[in-house]
Chain A
Amino acid sequence: AQSVTQLGSHVSVSEGALVLLRCNYSSSVPPYLFWYVQYPNQGLQLLLKYTSAATLVKGINGFEAEFKKSETSFHLTKPSAHMSDAAEYFCAVSGGSQGNLIFGKGTKLSVKP
């Protein structure tokens, strides 16, 4: 069965600092992996996705993630945090034929001026 673990329910960085949000997955089949962002009082927006092509995936707003099969990880990074990046971030793995996405519990990112 597929599962996702996000390390750290809250991450705080200073504006301009590196953002690193951690995600480890478990999957019995080659996974499709996703990062979604949820801004306050809004729905989920797809940041980026891995679908077995390039292992380094670039997304919107300067975010990128690297798929590492040996570490079963798909960490999300951004070189320089901006105040507007403050949001909750969810890592997800494809659930298989059911079509669902298995979500992690989320990481809330705070950005300090």
Chain B
Amino acid sequence: EAQVTQNPRYLITVTGKKLTVTCSQNMNHEYMSWYRQDPGLGLRQIYYSMNVEVTDKGDVPEGYKVSRKEKRNFPLILESPSPNQTSLYFCASSPRDSLNEQFFGPGTRLTVL
């Protein structure tokens, strides 16, 4: 089944404790992206990647890092999480020739205390 998977689905952590949210897709998509969803703000892009070893900032990149060492994986790294990063995070992927057809993962709900 074609899908985007994220782990963990739920995470509660404390300020300053490094964490990684994994994202994996099995559709051989070149493009991958991370969004955060906050009430009343919709979804906002954090980082994106056009292909392996190619990443770039989205609209709200502060406090996040990403890497793209393999085509299928695009982890989101919070090196020193803060409470304002409490949010619902979505990973998405799409083919390079159809950037607008994005497939979304199930989401990761992160709480930073």
Contact = CB atoms under 8 A, between A and B. Distances in A.
Contact of A90 (B42, B48, B59): B42
Contacts of A103: 35, 42-44
Given A43-B105, A99-B31, A100-B45, A32 B40 contact: no
Contacts, number: 55
Interface residues of B, number: 24
B43 A94 contact: no
A99 B33 CA distance: 9
Contact of B100 (A32, A104, A106): A32
B35 to A, nearest CB: 8
Interface in A37-93: 42-46, 49, 51, 90, 92
B66 interface: no
Interface residues of A, number: 23
Q: Chain B binding site: helix, strand, loop or mixed by DSSP? A: strand
Given A43-B90, A43-B104, A100-B48, A105 B42 contact: yes
Interface string A10-47: 00000000000000000000001010100000111110
A101 B42 CA distance: 11
Nearest to A31: B100
Contacts of A44: 43, 90, 104
B100 A98 contact: no
Given A32-B100, A43-B105, A94-B99, A99 B43 contact: no
Given A94-B100, A99-B99, A100-B48, A106 B58 contact: no
